[in-house]
Chains A and B, each alone.
Chain A
């Protein structure tokens, strides 16, 4: 049963990644692309956790943790750059 759920989840998040890719490729402006990238990070975290469950190991969880902890920093940096130019004022 859990396998079915995992496959379904993999498919969903994989599809999500492809949609993010679409937004990165075709977008009205830079902010949309940054948001797409940020969403990609979220999807990647999900995929990492799913992959860990699939493999039955906890060793990938640190990577997911690190993504969650630091992934948003790049997004903040992009945002600050677009709003203020200098990201460390």
Chain B
């Protein structure tokens, strides 16, 4: 199975739960699980090859220009993590089926879970660091959804927000670090980067890149001082805690450190940052865990501690330590996921997770007791379980490590960490299961059904099996993974007995001291509760509040809602940049000659200039301003003709008409004047800024036109290829429907959305508070004259077929002569608008039973289908084709797919314009306007003229 498919399967599987939940909860879980199982099988099919030392690859170019390719590769490390993610994922799906209550929306849960699973698999299989970053961010987002799954719980929402803030910030830092790394190497492919150790470590940018990448890894893996989000994320349902916060997501940071180990590790900076952070995290979190009463909080801090342990091992920078880290990742995933699920079972059965309220569950829940005992003993590092093996090897590595000239520091602190680990593990067993049976449980506990304990039991079996026969179970895997992490050959030997080495005595000391701590827990707990300690959540909240207040303040100053202020700031910025470029860059006058100015062109220029100024002067009288804008539009249209752009002119002419009509429709319900809001001084400032900007633009345009192009323009390409490539002699149209067809496609979609949006807004207006105002609306202008004058009705009717004919003509000839779908759509819309104006909205609407929403939809669909059609010919989206045909007795004619695309444009334009018009007219009807039933005021064809026809 292709690696890309393995990574895609969970995402595809995320579609299933929403559908299958209708078939019941079991069917939903099975459908979800089958996607994961399929991916797992696909992965395991690659396992033999990977265990032989091969690297499986799958490569697709996605955006090669950005260096972003969908490249996947599978080596030992990827196999281990993908196996953990999919294998434990499968168990979690089973567990969640029985854990979630009937009232919890299970389909939603599984969808989030599968999204998360896909993102995780993506991270561990990516061979491109940009792709990896995308999946990395996806895990942050999907874990946010999962942690906040119980939306009604404030802790859940706050915990989700905190997790997103911390891991998201780290993710941002990591993006920067990865980009630096890619910049050093010159490639974003991991398989290339991993071979460039010397280049990376010799670079000046090594340290910034290292720190930024580690920030991402540390926040994700909850390393000190970013550890505080993990306990708060425990507000999530237990399956989420077991999956994200013990087995997978928090290990993403470890994965990244292991993945980057060959190129980043081995320097002093790596050792002091990573190993020290790991050590501090391990000891500190283990100590806190001992004093947590909430089962899940205890496990959360224990997880932080074990993550610290693994981080420390990776930080040592030796191949042996990295191998131990790999081994402990496996062991921790098995025993910790089992413990989390068991904690969920206890919570589920006893209705509390508070250790102080539990105790004596041994006889009531014997199965859970067995599972927890095995897993917790492994966590404590008691032989022969798997936790013992990796802990022993960790202590061994710690004794070899010297920190800043102090040879004993790591050994002593690691032993202390192990001691706390023993103490809280025994507390978990002792205070929850041992002791007398109590009679004040919130709910009488008993063992759950098989479905709930099957998953943790399977993991507990693994704990024992790996513990008893480590080399048989995972020897090969650890060897291959360690080889992948270190980029060299590593020989692994895992055994229970190493002789009377220091690590053995440290282990014995840790167990002994841990038992003493456990025995003295009651007194220590009192001390702990009495001592003041920083509350991470309060600090975090204060920090977030402070930052939010700061950004709110900045935003309020810069973004105060005054458009004129934005314009001033923006314009001054552009002016400043332009001035800087002009004064720094030097200026050579252009060499072209100024052409003579014909008299008529001068007159047109005068009209344009005077009316533009007039709009600014008259803009408070809105109707007047509209009239003057009409002049500007007219001159612009004529100007297009004069400057040899007939297509633009045709478009502009029709756009002007539609604009004026729509503006007048809207103006009816708007204030007729604009109030004066700013002081004279401010207006003078604005005039100065605007004038400077206008003059600068004019100077710039002049400077540009006075010289030849510095580079060959794209116009030459278009001119040369329009007929041969697009089959049309009208270059503008060929650009629109062929060369830049994608743009046009996007534009008609935007146009359609705009039309629908205006409809929706008008609809909301009619339902909302404005409705009352509309119902009480009194027309501001006195009504006079004929409502539907006969002359206008007749003229409009006569013009209708002619205008439609012209529309069709403009449409058909568009490919070779000025015209096209857009202009034709506007012309047809104008013809229809004329009928509306002549005979009124209701009368006309009753006579054209077309749904303009559907017009928009058909238009977009036709354009899209034309584009997709080129796929059938195995060509890229929107590749056009054309041919010449002859049907006697007609002349030879051309058929082009581009014309079909243009039809889509045509329909969308009509739909959008007419829908906007209908939306605005509906407002008028609501405002108490009567509806006409006859075409005109005095209809000579009717025997009895109905006056007014209201």
List the interface of chain A (C-beta within 8 A of B). Answer: 10-11, 13-15, 17-18, 20-21, 24-25, 30, 33-34, 37, 40-41, 44, 47-48, 51, 59-60, 62-63, 65-67, 69-71, 73-74, 76-78, 80-89
A58 → chain B, closest Cβ, in Å?
10
B627: which A residues are within 8 A, CB to CB? 24, 30, 33-34, 37, 78
Of B606, B664, B818, B840, which is within 8 A of A78 by CB? B664
B residues 896-934 in Cβ contact with A at 8 Å: 917, 920-921, 924, 929, 932
Report the stretch among B145-153, B339-347, B349-357, B636-644 that lies at the interface. B636-644
- The answer to whether A18 and B606 have CB atoms under 8 Å apart is yes
Contact yes or no, A63 B641, CB < 8 A: yes
Which A residues touch B836, using CB under 8 A?
88
8 Å CB contact of A77 from B610, B611, B819, B837: B837
Specify which chain B residues have a CB less than 8 angstroms from the CB of A34 in the assembled complex: 627
Rounded to whole angstroms, the CA-CA distance of A89 and B921 in the bound complex is 8
B788 on interface, CB distance cutoff 8 Å:
yes
Q: How far apart sit A76 and B785, CA to CA, in the bound complex (Å)?
A: 13
Q: How far is the CA of A89 from the CA of B787 in the complex (A)?
A: 8
Task: Determine the residue in chain A with the shortest Cβ distance to B783.
Answer: A84
| Smallest beta-carbon distance A36→chain B, Å | 8
Main secondary structure of the interface of B (DSSP, over half): helix
Pair A30/B646 contact, Cβ less than 8 Å: no
**Looking at the complex, which one of A14, A44, A77, A85 makes contact with B781 (CB distance below 8 Å)?**
A85
Question: Cβ of B654: which chain A residues have Cβ within 8 Å of it?
Answer: 66, 70
The reply to whether B661 and A74 contact each other, CB–CB distance below 8 Å, is yes
Q: How far is the CB of B815 from chain A (nearest CB, A)?
A: 15
Complex Cα distance, B599 from A88, in Å, reads 41
Given the interface pairs A25-B614, A83-B783, A89-B841, the reply to whether A44 lies near B657 with Cβ below 8 Å is no
Please determine whether A30 and B668 come into contact, CB atoms closer than 8 angstroms.
no
Instruction: Specify which chain B residues have a CB less than 8 angstroms from the CB of A69 in the assembled complex.
Output: 799, 802-803, 806, 827
Which residues from chain A contact B924 at a C-beta distance below 8 Å?
Answer: 86, 88-89
A74 touching B656, Cβ below 8 Å? yes
Chain A to chain B: the 7 pairs with minimum beta-carbon distance, closest first: A85-B781, A14-B600, A14-B603, A83-B785, A74-B660, A81-B664, A88-B836
- A/B interface sample: 16 pairs, CB < 8 A: A21-B607, A33-B628, A62-B646, A62-B650, A63-B637, A63-B818, A66-B653, A70-B827, A74-B661, A76-B792, A77-B837, A78-B626, A82-B781, A84-B781, A84-B783, A89-B924
- Among B600, B606, B780, B932, which residue has its beta carbon within 8 angstroms of that of A21? B606
| Contact partners of A84 in chain B: CB under 8 A | 781, 783-785, 787
CB distance from A25 to the nearest CB of B (A): 6
The answer to whether A44 touches B634, judged by C-beta atoms less than 8 angstroms apart, is yes
Shortest Cβ distance from residue B595 to the other chain A in the assembled complex, whole angstroms: 16
Give the shortest distance, in Å, between B597 (CB) and chain A (any CB).
12
**Those of B765-824 within 8 Å (CB) of chain A:** 779-781, 783-785, 787-788, 792, 799, 802-803, 806, 810, 817-819
B396-411, CB under 8 A of A: which get 1 and which 0? 0000000000000000
Complex interface residues of chain B between 569 and 609 (CB less than 8 A to chain A): 598-600, 603-604, 606-607
**Complex interface residues of chain B between 623 and 638 (CB less than 8 A to chain A):** 623-624, 626-628, 630-631, 634, 637-638
Interface residues on B, range: 35 or more
Chain B residues, CB < 8 A from A10? 598-600
CA distance A71 to B653 in the complex (A): 8
Instruction: Judge whether B649 is part of the interface by a CB distance below 8 angstroms.
Output: yes
Residues A30 and B623 in contact in the complex (CB < 8 Å), given A62-B650, A83-B785: yes
Closest A residue to B917 by CB, please name it.
A88
A71 to B654, CA, bound (A): 9
Quick check: B624 and A33 within 8 Å, CB to CB? yes
By a beta-carbon cutoff of 8 Å, the part of chain B in contact with chain A is: 598-600, 603-604, 606-607, 610-611, 614, 623-624, 626-628, 630-631, 634, 637-638, 641-642, 646, 649-650, 653-654, 656-657, 660-661, 664-665, 667-668, 779-781, 783-785, 787-788, 792, 799, 802-803, 806, 810, 817-819, 827, 830, 833-834, 836-837, 840-841, 917, 920-921, 924, 929, 932
Also in contact, A78 and B660, with CB within 8 A (given A14-B603, A66-B650): yes
Min CB distance A52 to B, Å, is 9
* Besides the known contacts A14-B600, A44-B637, A69-B799, 7 further A-B residue pairs in the complex with CB atoms under 8 A apart: A24-B631, A25-B614, A74-B657, A81-B668, A84-B787, A88-B921, A88-B924
Distance in Å: Cβ of B876 to nearest Cβ of chain A: 33
Question: Judging by beta carbons under 8 Å apart, are B661 and A59 in contact?
Answer: no
Shortest distance from the beta carbon of A60 to any chain B beta carbon, whole Å? 5
Q: How many angstroms from the CA of A37 to the CA of B667 in the assembled complex?
A: 19
Q: Please, which residues of chain B bring their CB within 8 A of the CB of A89?
A: 787-788, 840-841, 924, 929, 932
Nearest CB of B to A12, in Å: 10
CB distance from A11 to the nearest CB of B (A): 7
Contact call A85/B783, Cβ cutoff below 8 A: yes
Q: For residue B642, which residues in chain A have a CB less than 8 angstroms away from its CB? A: 51
- Knowing A78-B627, A81-B667, A88-B841, the reply to whether A48 touches B641 (Cβ < 8 A) is yes
Find out whether the CB atom of B837 lies under 8 angstroms from the CB atom of A21.
no
CB nearest to B924 among chain A residues = A86
Bound complex: CA A44 to CA B231 (Å): 76
Report the nearest B residue to A80, measured CB to CB. B837
Which of B781, B806, B817 contacts A65, CB < 8 Å? Answer: B806
Contact B665 A88 (CB under 8 A): yes
Is B780 a contact of A63 with CB atoms below 8 Å?
no
Given A41-B634, A88-B917: A70 in contact with B830 (beta carbons within 8 A): yes
Beyond A37-B630, A47-B600, whether A63 also contacts B661 by CB under 8 A is: no
Q: What residue in chain A is nearest B835 (Cβ atoms)?
A: A88
Which residues of chain B come closer than 8 Å to A73, judged between CB atoms? 657, 661, 830, 833-834, 837
Q: Which residues of B contact A87 (CB under 8 A)?
A: 661, 664-665, 668, 837
Please give, as numbers and ranges, the residues of chain A lying within 8 Å of B783 by CB-CB distance. 83-85
